[in-house]
Structure 1
Amino acid sequence: MVLTFKSPVRPPREVSMTRVTLRDVAAHAGVSHQTVSNVMNGHPSIRPATRDRVLAAIQALDYHPNQAAKALREARVTTLCCAFYGHDAENVDDPYRNVVQSAFIAEANVHGYSMTTAFVQDGPESFDSLRQRYRQGQFGGVVVVGNTLNAAQWQALQGWGLPAVLFDHRLPDSAALSVSSDYTSGMHALVAHHAAQGRRHLALIIPLQDAASTAVDRREAFRAAAAQHGLQAHLIAGDWSYASGEAALHTLWRGGNSPDAVLGGNDRMAAGALRAALELGLRVPGQVAISGFDNFEFSRYTHPSLTTVNVPHAEMARRAVRALLARLEQHQTPPNVVLPASLVIRESA
């Protein structure tokens, strides 16, 4: 049966420029807002004539309930967000992003939550978009993945009242709740391994100007560990990519002062260095030892397999979700988490 409705006796409110609310529907139908709520929830006490009048008002005003806001009011937030700050949404082959995003989703699902993803770039428009999504009730809290996020940006997030956890990054002199890894001890273990093999001249491929805590920790630990073991050491620029690792090793060998161990600041640059060694006809680890940092899955399948430092990214992601849920559900601020990084010895060093 097709129902048609005549124009209402009283004119509707002026609601065209704003979201129609439950109270607008109630005023249109001449009933209380609780009656409208009862109709929408199928309460059996509502008389058929009243139900028809409310349904007619809903149709006339094109009312759509805001389910996200309803969930927030009832303390039943069921969606979290992982916000990748400074990451390219199109870079789908980034192993770091793939590992942590998968772990976020899996852990959220364990606790009965879903996980949405946002990509935030530097600039007010991008942050405003994230804020609007939060205020619209699309998610109840966020894990921020981005080791270039600064203290001012973090404070802006806090100013929204947004429950947040900082992933794989620490801010100096900040109360930011964070989950990270001990990159310093991992780098010390890697340098000590090269020293124990009799390597005396080490080079680290890493971004030289990157101010992120993950990069700073690796650079400073490399310098300190090399000095501790009395090794010659220097840095050469890379940009975290495979291609930059390949280019860096070629540059080192063209310079005529070839190291006997090359450390990649991550596994991708180390894999690029392995490729360059093959192109130059170098024996690995005979002429030069090559090692990485992260222990992504592909590091087991390079030839030779890559000695590296294991960073427990998946466990870090699980801990970050749990920390966020502690804020949302128990209104607690758990302590910061720093998980150990450990040496993985394979064939390349």
Structure 2
Amino acid sequence: MPVTRGPEGREEGPLQTRRRVTIDDIARHAGVTKTTVSRALNARPDVNPETRDRISEIAERLGYVPSATAKVLRTGRSHTMGMALPSFTWPGILEILRGVSDVLDALGYQVTLFPLTRGEEAERDLVFRVMPSLQMDGLILILPPGMLRYIGELASRGVPVVLIDDRVEHRDRDFPSVGTTNVSGARAITRHLLQLGRRRIAIITGPDTQDVSKNRLAGYRLALEEAGVPFRQELVVGGNFEPPSGQAAVESLLASGQRFDAVFASNDQMALGALRGLHAAGVCVPHDVALAGFDDDHAGRFTIPSLTTVHQPLYEMGSAAARTVVAAAEGQPSERHIEIPARLVVRESCGAGGERSS
């Protein structure tokens, strides 16, 4: 049965908890003082290079791990960023996390996740209980509705905060933010459908309380206006960004008797539901009705037909937010409001043929 050896070389049983190695242990093995060990491990110039190398080798051999708390006390920095997010169920969250994680890892930072699935209670806990008790150099927020009023409290304590957010009201308070071009993205995909000859384009919107829904509806209306096509309120159906609401929306349109030759769903999840609803009703996509979404979720690449959509640059948004919060924590200048362009991705569901981006 394998055994381990503690800092003094004594055998430890398989179930025995190994004691944490301290600078006292390193000092005894190296035959130097604790002060010398501390100076060597912190790369102080007043330590002989040979002594520093020997101490580093002993520390590695013993399995020494520096105390994070001691490092914070010494430097005033934890090299840890918090990230608060409203849900793990949104498909795009992994792309944002990947962008954040890649940048923070490259810059020598760790990330701690704070899910806000409990709603307002979790938001209050994060601001007034969790953040004050932890050593965080900054916070990235994927902002849920209603939390904006708490951010000022964090900022007033000197915590760098960066929002990944589509709303505009936070700009009045000058919180750094990263977003995408929702209006121009929705305009581009509606214009694409119009160029394919579709004239009665229905839209499935998200919740009307969210700026992302308002912005995508605004882009849709702008494209209609530019093409001289009248806006028809009866072709606007509300959803909640979930697939069942997309299916219910097209079922409602079909039941109403309203003619429509295309559907623009304000996100891909609702587009997937719409595709199912149209298929169940015997409506052929794209021959009878063209279909398009927004976000470029992975699932849309594998539907039949594959989904025309707008690519939301989630990885890039996460990367930009991470660079911005690190810059703020390190006292470096950075852009206050970053907007990364969305782009049209043409696939089969609009009737224009194979995949291409623009």
TM-score when scaled to structure 2?
Answer: 0.74
Among 203, 220, 223, the alignment partner of 1:222 is 220
Contact 2:189 2:310 in 1 (8 A): yes
1:344 corresponding residue in structure 2:
345
Q: Report the Cα offset of residue 130 of structure 1.
A: 4.3
* 1:95 aligned residue: 91
Query: Partner residue of 2:311?
Result: 310
Paired letter, 1:270: A
| Residues 317 and 282 of structure 1, relative CA distance in 2, 3 Å threshold | same
Q: 2:176 matched to 1:177? A: yes
Say yes or no: does 1:156 pair with 2:157: no
Mapped partners of 1:331, 1:298: distance in 2: 39
TM-aligned CA distance change 1:215 to 1:223, over 3 Å: same
Shift, 1:198, TM fit:
1.1
Alpha-carbon separation, structure 2, partners of 1:95 and 1:109 = 22
1:236-282, CA deviations, whole angstroms, 9 ceiling, x for partnerless residues? 01110011111111111011013111011100100111111111111
Name the aligned partner's letter for residue 217 of structure 2: R
**Residues in 1 aligned to 2:73 and 2:199: alpha-carbon distance in whole angstroms:** 59
CA distance in 2, matches of 1:41, 1:139: 29
Which residue does 1:257 correspond to in 2?
258
User: Which aligned pairs between 1:49-64 and structure 2 lie closer than 5 A?
Assistant: none
- Normalising by structure 1, we get a TM-score of 0.76
Task: State the SS of the aligned residue for 1:257.
Answer: coil
Contact 1:294/1:310 (8 A) holds in 2: yes
Which amino acid in 2 is paired with 1:329? E
Match of 1:141 in 2: 138
The percent of aligned pairs where both chains have the same amino acid is 30
- Distance verdict in 2 for CA 1:251–1:124, change over 3 Å: closer
Displacement of 1:72 in angstroms is: 5.8
After TM superposition, the structure 1 = structure 2 runs for residues 75-154 of structure 1, keeping only pairs within 5 Å, are 75-84=76-85, 87-88=86-87, 91=89, 94-120=90-116, 121-123=118-120, 126-149=123-146, 151-154=148-151
Alignment of 1:266 onto 2:278: no
The number of aligned residues is 290
Unmatched tracts of structure 2, length 5 or more: 1-21, 36-65, 351-358
The residue matched to 1:299 in structure 2 has which SS?
helix
Residue 333 of structure 1: CA displacement? 4.4
Q: Deviations over 1:136-186 (max 9, x none)?
A: 334221110025245422212212321110003333223010000011111
Contact 1:68 1:137 (8 Å CA) reproduced:
no
Distance 1:198 1:159, change over 3 A: same
Verify the 8 A CA contact 1:147 1:214 in the aligned structure 2.
Answer: no
Residues 120 and 147, structure 2, Cα contact 8 Å, conserved in 1: no
Over aligned residue pairs, what C-alpha RMSD do you find?
Answer: 2.5
C-alpha distance in 2 between matches for 1:202 and 1:119: 37
The Cα of 1:294 is off from its aligned counterpart by 0.6
